[in-house]
Amino acid sequence: MSTLQKTVIDQLGNEVKFNYPPQRIISLVPSQTELLYDLELEERVVGITKFCERPSRWHQTKTKVGGTKKLQLKTIEALEPDLIIGNKEENEKESIEILQLKYPVWMSDIVTLDDALWMINGVGELTGSLEKSRAINNKITQAFAKVKKHKASVLYLIWRNPWMGAGKGTFIDAMLDQMGLTNVLTTSRYPELSAEQIQVLNPDHVFFSSEPYPFQENHIFELKDIIPHSKLTLVDGQFFSWYGSRLIGAPGYFNTLF
């Protein structure tokens, strides 16, 4: 296949020059790996992280380049990528800067649903799959038009020991907003919380995410006596924090929570 030199701007404003269409792609982000699968790029994705569990077949067969935070640079070098796709929040800046010295690295930066839609089209443009990426975005937009709104407050927990929640400036917060919910955390990013602080917040709902901490039913009881009037629910964190093609199914899942 003939290639040509192409230049695009990523979501961090970086100019990325690469051979188009790329034939040896490495994805450093689970949700973007799943997107590449749904763009039908099976033969062109050569490397993923150990956390890229979807699709399961890729997780079993594709070369792992480490975790999202701890990349194996020698493994990446051996794969000879002609495009690396990462994310500002999920990947370490230092590792990305090292990779940028040698390879085309396209970075996403996603806080809102619009950011996610932009990213999906951006990856479609990068890979010569723009028609497919637009079709995915149309399905996402149609699905989110059917999200039921709920006037209630919520605390979304992502960690324990210490407790940590998702605050403002996160994609999770944007998803809660899509549901009409009010996030009780008004500080940015992922603040640590004491049991006393959670008691004062006294949210109508507490969502215990399945990731990054794998909350289970027994963890709910740790807060039940502290906030007895709150509804405590285990939720699938991928629908709240994966900003690729998984968003197609997110609104339907959100509607089942109430």
Please check whether residue 16 lies inside any domain of the structure.
Answer: yes
Together in a domain, 100 and 180: no
Boundary of a domain, candidates 82, 109, 136: 109
* Res. 128 pLDDT band, cuts 50 70 90: very high
Task: Identify the pLDDT of residue 114.
Answer: 98
Read off the CATH number of the domain in which 237 is found.
Answer: 3.40.50.1980
Together in a domain, 246 and 189: yes
Boundary of a domain, candidates 109, 124, 143: 109
Together in a domain, 174 and 233: yes
Mean pLDDT of 91-111: 97
In the numeric block, the tokens 């188009």 are attached to 20
Boundary of a domain, candidates 83, 109, 135: 109
Please check whether residue 161 lies inside any domain of the structure.
Answer: yes
Task: Identify the pLDDT of residue 150.
Answer: 95
Mean pLDDT of 202-229: 95
* Res. 59 pLDDT band, cuts 50 70 90: very high
Residues of the domain holding 42:
4-109
Together in a domain, 12 and 76: yes
Please check whether residue 166 lies inside any domain of the structure.
Answer: yes
Distances (CA, A) of 188 to 69, 97, 136, 145, 244: 21, 25, 30, 27, 23
172 touches 166 (CB < 8 A):
yes
Together in a domain, 37 and 99: yes
Mean pLDDT of 169-175: 97
Mean pLDDT of 228-257: 97
Please check whether residue 132 lies inside any domain of the structure.
Answer: no
Task: Identify the pLDDT of residue 2.
Answer: 59
* Res. 1 pLDDT band, cuts 50 70 90: low
Mean pLDDT of 178-203: 96
Give the dihedral sign, CA 42/142/12/236.
Answer: negative
Together in a domain, 104 and 35: yes
117 touches 141 (CB < 8 A):
yes
Count the domains in the chain. Answer: 2
Q: Indicate the average pLDDT of the chain.
A: 96
Together in a domain, 102 and 186: no
Please check whether residue 252 lies inside any domain of the structure.
Answer: yes
Asked if residue 167 has pLDDT above 90, the reply is yes
Together in a domain, 92 and 179: no
Please check whether residue 102 lies inside any domain of the structure.
Answer: yes
Mean pLDDT of 12-22: 96
Please check whether residue 142 lies inside any domain of the structure.
Answer: no
Determine what percent of the chain is predicted with pLDDT higher than 70: 99
CA distance 258 to 253: 10
190 touches 169 (CB < 8 A):
no
Determine what percent of the chain is predicted with pLDDT higher than 90: 98
| Other CB atoms within 10 Å distance of the CB of residue 162 | 10
Task: Identify the pLDDT of residue 21.
Answer: 95
Together in a domain, 25 and 91: yes
Asked if residue 236 has pLDDT above 70, the reply is yes
Q: Give every CB contact of residue 150 below 8 A, 6+ residues apart in sequence.
A: 179, 180, 181, 258
231 touches 224 (CB < 8 A):
no
- Phi-psi label, residue 229: left if phi above 0, alpha if psi -120 to 50, beta otherwise: alpha
CA distance 67 to 81: 17
Please check whether residue 238 lies inside any domain of the structure.
Answer: yes
154 touches 204 (CB < 8 A):
yes
23-49 confidence digits (pLDDT tens):
999 999 999 999 999 999 999 999 999
CA distance 60 to 51: 11
Mean pLDDT of 86-115: 97
Pairing of strands 45-48, 25-27: parallel
* Res. 19 pLDDT band, cuts 50 70 90: very high
240, amino acid identity: F
CA distance 168 to 35: 25
